[in-house]
Structure 1
Amino acid sequence: MTARWSGSWATAPDPADTDPVDVDVLIPTVGRPAELATTLAGLAAQTDVDLRVVVSDQSPDGSATTAPAVAAMLRVLSAQGRPVTVLAHPERRGLAEHRQFLLDQAEASAVLFLDDDVWLEPGTIARMLDALRTLGCGFVGSAVTGLSYLDDRRPQETAVFERWDGPVVPEVVRRGTPEFDRWSLHNAANPTHLAAGLDLRPGEWVPYRVAWVGACTLYDRRALEDVGGFRFWDVLPPEHAGEDVVAQWRVMERFGGVGILPSGAVHLEAPTTVTDRRVDAPDVVFGPGTVVSS
């Protein structure tokens, strides 16, 4: 079932509609109600895909999900027929633990880890899901773009762009490998500039090779769980970064992973809530000197 339009919001849902949703959207949040409301508004505009939304709030008083704009967007999603789950998870054990907590709630075959400061263009999740199913890989990422950099073209950073032609196969990415140099593709507005050069029609997408994709990544849930998900959280101190890099490198090594263009994911460019990045998860999990989070 696709999202119900506003003309049917006040009618009872069809009790015969018991099909599982296509995507569980998993959103960790803490203390950013304005950004979270914008993120949820982007999800409400994804009218061409069945999804469930799970929000886990680590704000001390749960204020992020009770703010009026956030509550309104949650009501819109519910009225559309999208299942919505809001959870309080106040104990701060780190980013990886919070992601694992969300993964433990997942039921759909595909899970989208979406940061709470990302707006999605209508049709973005449908493109990502189409790519995941078509390519049969472990994850598909839509790299977030900063539109304040739209006039800042960086050909020296996008020179490493490489379309993925043929079947997606496993890759190993580590610092010092040529694959690692792809990290620069996702700086500033680079994804938007790359997409502009591909002459794509609405709905089309192109897979490309990545080092990792932050903030908006759709996983085959079984693939992510097969490599342990984020259960490595217990070897990390609470203050860390780079947990998504660890999970994606593990998935890439067994199942492959790609980015797609156009991205459709816009970074809100709000101040980060991850201010202490002295411990980078890949350094701990894979060994010192592996990666520095961007």
Structure 2
Amino acid sequence: MDSSDLAADLDVLVPTKDRPGALAVTLAGLAAQDTAGFRVVVSDQSARPAGEDPLVAAALRILAHRGSPVELLRHVPARGLAEQRQFLLEQAGRRFALYLDDDVWLEPGALGTLAGALDELACGFVGYALHGLSYRDDPRPHELVSYEEWPGPVRPERVRRDGPAWWRHRLHNAANPLHLAEKAGADGPWKAYKVAWIGGCVLYDRERLVECGGFGFWRSVPPAHAGEDVVAQLRVMERYGGAGLLPSRAYHLELPTTVVDRRAECYDYVLEGR
């Protein structure tokens, strides 16, 4: 299948809360993709509905005009990050499900490349680590030592805190994805590498994510929690494998985090000791 056919089998799932300016930039990046037919679902937990913001409304109109249907859904009250992601998963029905944070800009062509890579690799997920370009001149070679490419098929891996693979998470700090691509000579469409997890832009095989429980563990964690995407990805990776892609085509807007209370990590409630 070519990238346009694959993109038409894709749901883009965007959780948002009280960041209309960033959401508008994220949606504008989607509207500028060189493929159409993908569907966008936004779960809005903002105090003021996001659709009332003129920039968000304009981006939604452009997406619809360019052939990508959009559903902007109010989902309140907020019951935690994992519950919001599970709600989005329950709205999805296509083969691919891309979780895209509301502060990420994608290069044109990013969606088609992600979908083509997941189709070829036939694993559980692929993703782009986010560039933090304010750190472009801050190379961190000591954080890149765990970089390892997938030499062939992506295989299932069990990654836990007490193993060396856990330290791969440092590959995605600051502008490390940019420096990784330069180091790896990733100048083609994509190159797959081993990850601990990926934040902000992850494309799942939807059925495999559902089979591994999705984010249904939200009921077993405190409402104020963090690391829900880590748990979901480690579960999928253990059964089906997962990979990061270089060069990354995703850029972090570098706004202050909305997750200020990180005392309750989902890993501790769901995976610790398992």
TM-score, normalized by length of structure 2?
A: 0.96
- What residue number does 2:13 align with? 26
Is 2:27 aligned against 1:40? yes
In structure 2, the CA distance between the partners of 1:22 and 1:129, relative to structure 1 (3 Å rule), is: same
Two-structure CA RMSD over aligned residues (Å): 1.9
What secondary structure, in the 3-state scheme, does the structure 1 residue paired with 2:113 have?
A: helix
| 2:139 maps to which of 126, 147, 153 | 153
Deviations 1:80-108 (A, max 9, x none): 01110010002111000000000000011
Task: Give yes or no for contact 1:2–1:49 (8 Å, CA) kept in 2.
Answer: no
- What residue number does 2:79 align with? 93
Displacement, 1:66? Answer: 1.7
Displacement, 1:167? Answer: 1.0
Deviations 1:220-267 (A, max 9, x none): 001100011000000011100000000000000100000000111100
Task: Give yes or no for contact 2:18–2:48 (8 Å, CA) kept in 1.
Answer: no
What secondary structure, in the 3-state scheme, does the structure 2 residue paired with 1:166 have?
A: coil
- What residue number does 2:150 align with? 164
Give the AA of the match of 1:160.
S
- The sequence identity of aligned pairs, in percent, is 57
Runs of 5+ consecutive residues of structure 2 not aligned to the other structure: none
- What residue number does 1:267 align with? 252
| 2:130 maps to which of 144, 153, 159 | 144
Deviations 1:51-83 (A, max 9, x none): 100011001231x23201010000000000111
Runs of 5+ consecutive residues of structure 1 not aligned to the other structure: 4-18
Give the AA of the match of 2:113.
R
TM-score, normalized by length of structure 1?
A: 0.89
| 1:229 maps to which of 210, 214, 228 | 214
| 1:74 maps to which of 54, 60, 63 | 60
Displacement, 1:2? Answer: 8.9
- What residue number does 2:165 align with? 179
Task: Give yes or no for contact 1:246–1:285 (8 Å, CA) kept in 2.
Answer: yes
Give the AA of the match of 1:107.
G
Aligned length: 273
Structure 1 runs of 4+ with >6 Å offset: none
What secondary structure, in the 3-state scheme, does the structure 2 residue paired with 1:181 have?
A: helix
Is 2:44 aligned against 1:57? yes
Structure 2 Cα separation of the partners of residues 224 and 143 of structure 1: 19
Structure 2 Cα separation of the partners of residues 201 and 280 of structure 1: 36
What secondary structure, in the 3-state scheme, does the structure 2 residue paired with 1:207 have?
A: strand
